[in-house]
Amino acid sequence: MVDKIVLDVSDLRIDFHTEQGKIRAVDQVDFQLKKGRILGIAGESGCGKSVTALSIMRLLPKPVSRIVKGRALYNDQNIYDLPVSDMRSIRGKKISMIFQEPMTALNPVHGIGKQLIEIYKLHFPGLSYREMAAASLKMLRKVGIPDPDKVMKKYPHHLSGGMRQRIMIAMSLACEPDILIADEPTTALDVTVQAQILDLIRSFQAKSNMSVILITHDLGVIAENCDDVVVMYAGRIAEKADALTLFKYPRHPYTIGLLKSIPSLAGEPKTILPTIKGNVPSLQDMPDGCRFASRCPVAEEICKKKVPGQRSMGHNHTAACHLADTKFFEKKGFI
């Protein structure tokens, strides 16, 4: 059976106009989110994960940023072309987002109850106040908030980071969206709370067959939670595949480098892990060819001159690398 595609992003290009000039933060980004699947977007800080996510919510900062090209098809409509009023009825209801830092998304001057009820007021204006309050309470219970009656009356600063993130989840799932975008939902939290929050997202996803985009720089989180993976590097997609394929048969030297730098329980204790040498080039000063070339251990002349296209590595598996070829990498002693 072919999985239904709920979101189809193609050739997305986003510019920022800064004091230092124009930068292309997202370039030629393509990916598809399938119904009931969790798609992970991974990559180092600044590679364009949040900008991509914000574009789908139509929340990119204005006027500094601009979508120069591309589309994001949702129900056969291009999100980027929708009138503001149509977008308002999709955002938070059909597509919602959990932000990295809940304090920036929660309003500090309003109680939790009021903020939840506002969501129902906006998207289900036919409900009575009593019904909205009951739905809010139910939602808080569902995300594992103890004493939800009391929490309804509290303000964000009264709650721990983990509780605030649960509230954010309750708010983002209140309307049972088709798509949930979780942008580093656990980065600010303790490891044990991180696992609880990810379990919570996954259990909602499984129950409602919702589709999820999970953004993280942690490949361990991707391995445990995602069905499909997009690896980004400096605004472009380096590699994408289903998670099993990507972890077993990575083809892009950047993905291979990332995977080598993950500690393994099977490895020798206290060994120094390999890291990817060098830094991501500045978006203001991108090289002509492959953006990873200056850090790539196997790069050749062509890599510095020509931008690599997405090459097919098998079923739904692509790598933007001129040299992606297992035999070649083996010969070079890279894998």
Ligand X SMILES: Nc1ncnc2c1ncn2[C@@H]1O[C@H](COP(=O)(O)OP(=O)(O)OP(=O)(O)O)[C@@H](O)[C@H]1O
Contact pick of 16, 74, 204, 233 for ligand X (by CB under 6 A): 16
Stretch that binds Mg ion, among 43-51, 166-174, 316-324, 325-333 (CB under 5 A): 43-51
Q: Judged by CB under 6 A, which of 6, 7, 12, 47 binds ligand X? A: 47
Q: Which of residues 49-68 bind Mg ion (CB under 5 A)?
A: 49-50
Residue nearest to Mg ion (CB): 50
**Which strand (E) or helix (H) includes residue 84?**
helix 84-90
Q: Classify strands 38-42 and 211-215 as parallel, antiparallel or unpaired.
A: parallel
What is the Cα–Cα distance from 299 to 220, expressed in whole angstroms? 27
Q: How far apart are CA 2 and CA 100, in angstroms?
A: 33
Q: Which of 15, 38, 40, 50 binds ligand X (CB under 6 A)?
A: 50
| Residue of 8, 13, 36, 46 that binds ligand X (CB under 6 A) | 46
- Taking the least distance from each CB to ligand X, the nearer of 18 and 209 is 18
Residues 271-330 binding ligand X (CB under 6 A) are 283
DSSP string covering 283-328: GGG--SS-TTGGG-TT--HHHHHS----EEEETTEEE--TT--HHH
- Residue 61 near ligand X by CB under 6 A: yes
Is there binding between residue 103 and ligand X (CB under 6 A)?
A: no
Sheet strand arrangement including 317-319: 95-98, 179-183, 211-215, 38-42, 228-233, 236-242, 317-319, 311-314
Report phi then psi at 130, rounded to 5. -60, -40
CB proximity list for 65: less than 8 A, separation 6 or greater: 14, 15, 16, 17, 25, 51
Question: Of the ranges 43-51, 160-168, 189-197, 327-335, which one interacts with ligand X (CB under 6 A)?
Answer: 43-51
283 binds, among Mg ion, ligand X, none (CB under 5 to 8 A by kind): ligand X
Cα-Cα end-to-end distance for the chain: 35
Find out whether 260 and 274 touch, Cβ atoms under 8 Å. yes
Binders of ligand X among residues 150 to 209 (CB under 6 A) are: none
Side chain identity, residue 23: I
The distance of closest approach from Cβ of residue 72 to ligand X in the complex, given in angstroms and rounded to an integer, is 15
In this complex, which beta carbon is closest to ligand X, that of residue 3 or of residue 218?
218
237 binds ligand X (CB under 6 A): no
Give the span between the Cα atoms of 235 and 222, in whole angstroms.
19
Q: Which stretch binds ligand X (CB under 6 A): 17-25, 123-131, 137-145, 204-212?
A: 17-25
Amino acid occupying residue 335: I
| Residue 133 interaction partner, one of ligand X, Mg ion, none, beta carbon < 5-8 Å per kind | none
Q: How far is the CB of 18 from ligand X (least distance, A)?
A: 5
Instruction: Note the residues at the interface with ligand X (CB under 6 A).
Output: 16, 18, 23, 25, 43, 45-51, 61, 64, 217, 283
Instruction: Note the residues at the interface with Mg ion (CB under 5 A).
Output: 49-50
